[in-house]
Amino acid sequence: MTARDVPPAATSEGPPRPSRRRLLLGVLLDLVVPIALYYGLRAAGVSVFVALLAGAVLPVSTTAVHWLRTRSLAGTAGFVAGIMLLGVAAALVSGSPRFMLAKDGWLSGAAGLWFLISIRAERPLLFHGGRPLLEGRFRSDGTSWDVLWEREPAFRRIWRVSTAIWGVAMLLDAVVRIAMAYTLPVDLVPGLGALLWPVTLVLLQLVNGVYYEVAGLWRLTAGKSGRSPDH
């Protein structure tokens, strides 16, 4: 997860549409390349700490380039970038390879807490994250999510519950990452940590997909709620 990969909040005029190319490029630059860089440097005899630091600096650098080009970061992006920079700074102060290995766990935990805190916000975090991907694209009759949010209590409840699911899952992911960082051989952790991201995300997609179906999200977006406006 990096700052530029997090979708900005939607506006009433419609959310921005993330391109598949941009998403794939983000995965390549922020997941594949740092891991390849780490193991390449280790094979060349570089110390664990320096190799980990090089892999951590790359996503921060690409985020900085994004900011220089656009002169803006969405609220979520600013939060993620801040956590990343704090993690790198703390690692430099401590000089601990284990702390560097646990960095993604601290980031995942912070993200999980923010998901849970956002449940009580005007609109929860996952609503803003899911909107650019789903609104008007999947089982939709074209009704704006702003309208659904105002009219349908079930629609609001679905996004708050699914945000809670993400928050709890990210906290569990953090526990696993931190445990791996402090217990497993150091050269094993980066590869396992990289594999854990797709596993976590796939499981989240499956759980949320089942929940959306059972809770009736697609029925609501398709205009089959059978309810009259509350207001």
pLDDT greater than 70 at residue 83:
no
pLDDT greater than 70 at residue 231:
no
CA angle 175, 181, 185 (to 5 degrees): 140
* CA nearest neighbour of 78 among 131, 25, 4, 171: 4
The H or E element containing residue 58 is: helix 48-70
**pTM of this structure:** 0.74
Q: With contact defined as beta carbons under 8 Å apart, do 128 and 160 qualify?
A: no
Using one digit for the tens of pLDDT, what is the confidence trace for 128-169?
A: 988 887 887 777 788 899 999 999 999 999 999 999 999 999
**DSSP result, 165-187:** HHHHHHHHHHHHHHHHHHHS-TT
How far are the Cα atoms of 55, 70, 106, 115, 134 from residue 175, in angstroms, in the given order?
Answer: 21, 35, 9, 16, 30
Using one digit for the tens of pLDDT, what is the confidence trace for 4-38?
A: 444 444 444 444 555 556 655 655 666 777 888 88
pLDDT greater than 50 at residue 175:
yes
CB-based contacts of 161: which residues, under 8 Å, 6+ apart? Answer: 211, 215
pLDDT at position 76: 52
How many Cβ atoms sit within 10 Å of the Cβ of residue 213? 11
Tokens encoding 62: 């690409």
Mean pLDDT calculated for residue range 43-58: 84
Residue carrying structure tokens 């860089």: 37
pLDDT at position 131: 87
Residue carrying structure tokens 């596993």: 199
**Which of the pair, 48 or 174, is modelled with greater confidence?**
174
* CA nearest neighbour of 1 among 34, 30, 28: 30
* 133 three-class SS: helix
Report the alpha-carbon distance of residue 230 to residue 146 in Å, rounded.
14
* 206 three-class SS: helix
Residue carrying structure tokens 């759980």: 207
CB-based contacts of 14: which residues, under 8 Å, 6+ apart? Answer: 135, 136, 144
pLDDT greater than 50 at residue 176:
yes
* CA nearest neighbour of 220 among 157, 160, 152: 152
Report the alpha-carbon distance of residue 207 to residue 67 in Å, rounded.
34
